Amino acid sequence: MSIQLQIDATDGPARVGRLTLPHGVVETPVFMPVGTVASVKGVPQDVLEELGVQILLNNTYHLYLRPGVETIRRIGGLHRFMSWDRSILTDSGGFQVFSLNELRKVSEEGVTFRSHLDGSSHFFSPESAMAAQIGLGADIIMAFDECTEYPADRERARSSMEMTLRWAERSKKYFEQHKSEVPWADQTQSLFGIVQGGMDLKLRRESALRTVEIGFPGYAIGGLSVGEPRELTREIVESTLEHLPADKPRYLMGVGTPEEIAEYARMGVDMMDCVLPTRAARHGLLFTLKVKVYMKQTQYAQDEGPLDPQCGCRVCGRYSRAYLRHLYASNELLAQVLNTVHNVAYYLDTMRAVRHSIQLGERARFLSERCGPNP
């Protein structure tokens, strides 16, 4: 078995589990930091390990363009290439093709797009996206989908969803024929299907049911966080989850704030990824338990306290806000490094707390009502 989900505790729709993959066990619900080109920007791999990162996301589109799939495949796949022996998930490249390419041309066959690096022309089909992901060798790979733009009318959302379903079949077919070609051999990867359907609950339901019918070892909800209001995201996530099998991992792509990832986990999502913690860190926005800290604010220039007194990360344990603010104001490399370490720690701590609260579950609520601070 190249993937196995064991559910250890549930609390309403939420669940805590262990997802066993070829490169280790992942505790779910899990947040996957984004390592676009096989690096979480500014953070060495040993620090990621120390933070407790169990699975990373890498972007197929970026790695396909540079250094190229063949370079990574020859070296033995992403794990060896980036010296990371824990789990990795790659996206299908679909989202980047749609978000970074205004000149893309979509047909039934696939998508023609131009490199954002040098303008060269490239083509992704379900088959070539699978070939790329097999060559990269992540533990979990994603079916090639069309991320429906927002807003889209019902007709457009339906036809896009239908194409994603046809592409899912082609992705699965190619994967089944070629899965033994993964560079690390003795086990195989796991291919997840992606639910689309725009912002239409009925289409989402249909997409979920028909994707499940095709049959994958895990399912993702794609096409969200594309500009729609957050309340709508929440509604679609909640209703889509109902149609996904409880014994398979459920992955919500590209979300969200710390509050949102906690909320989605409580709804029953098992896996999430987002560039927010790492990108915000580089722009001087730091998440803490009480407030968001914007490092550009001068109020921190004399602040000797730690960034987040309740955080146990190596940044909060060692440096003052005054120093971090100085590094940021001076545009120092170390600002981006330390800020990223903290934000990733904060996201992982958030998920630890969520897992803990799910494990405590109903019993804890009963006890806290009976034995709380005001008995």
Please identify every residue annotated as catalytic. 91, 273
Contact 52, 20 (CB under 8 A): no
Binding of residue 301 to its own copies (CB under 8 A): yes
Q: How far apart are the first and last CA of the chain?
A: 50
Q: Is 106 in the site for its own copies (CB under 8 A)?
A: no
Among 150, 184, 294, 319, binds its own copies (CB under 8 A): 319
In single-letter form, the type of residue at position 59 comes to N
Our CB check for its own copies shows the closer of 212 and 322 to be 322
Q: Is 297 near its own copies (CB under 8 A)?
A: no
Minimal distance, residue 299 CB to its own copies, in Å? 13
Binding mask 21-50 for its own copies (x = CB under 8 A): ----------------xxxxxxxxxx----
Q: Which two tokens stand for residue 287?
A: 């998440």
Instruction: For the beta carbon of residue 333, count every other beta carbon within 10 angstroms.
Output: 10
Token pair, residue 7, equals 């559910």
- Contact pick of 20, 112, 225, 320 for its own copies (by CB under 8 A): 320
Counting runs of H as helices and runs of E as strands, what totals does the chain give?
13, 16
Does 185 bind its own copies (CB under 8 A)? Our answer is no
3-class secondary structure, 26: strand
Nearer to its own copies, 40 or 261 (CB): 40
Residues in binding contact with its own copies, number by CB under 8 A: 37
Verify binding: residue 184, its own copies, rule CB under 8 A. no
3-state secondary structure of 176: helix
Among positions 5, 327, 344, 348, the unique one binding its own copies when judged by CB under 8 A: 327
- Our finding on whether 18 is near its own copies (CB under 8 A) is no
Tell me which DSSP letter residue 320 carries.
Answer: B
d(CA 217, CA 56): 19
Nearer to its own copies (CB atom), residue 45 or residue 133: 45
Sites for its own copies among residues 57-76 (CB under 8 A): 66-67, 71, 74-75
Instruction: Find residue 87's DSSP bridge partners.
Output: 55
173 sits near its own copies (criterion: CB under 8 A): no
Contact status, residue 145 vs residue 163, Cβ threshold 8 Å: no
Q: Which one of 86-94, 212-220, 236-244, 321-329 is the stretch in contact with its own copies (CB under 8 A)? A: 321-329
Alpha-helix residue ranges (DSSP H) falling in the chain? 45-51, 60-65, 69-75, 78-82, 94-100, 126-136, 154-178, 201-214, 230-241, 258-267, 276-282, 321-329, 333-371
Cross-strand bridge partners of residue 21: 24
At 16 the three-state DSSP class reads strand
Residues 334-373 that bind its own copies (CB under 8 A): 334, 336-338
Taking CB under 8 A as the criterion, the residue among 61, 64, 81, 167 binding its own copies is: 81
Q: CA 103, 105, 109: angle at the middle one, nearest 5?
A: 155
Closest of 36, 16, 13 to residue 26, by C-alpha: 16
Least separation in angstroms between residue 38's CB and its own copies is 7
Task: Out of 1, 12, 83, 310, name the contact with its own copies by CB under 8 A.
Answer: 83
116 lines the binding site for its own copies (CB under 8 A): no
Give dist(CA 126, CA 133) in Å, integer: 11
User: Which range binds its own copies by CB under 8 A, 180-188, 224-232, 241-249, 333-341?
Assistant: 333-341
Instruction: Tell me which residues touch its own copies (CB under 8 A).
Output: 37-46, 66-67, 71, 74-75, 81-83, 301-302, 304, 314, 318-320, 322-323, 326-327, 329-330, 332-334, 336-338
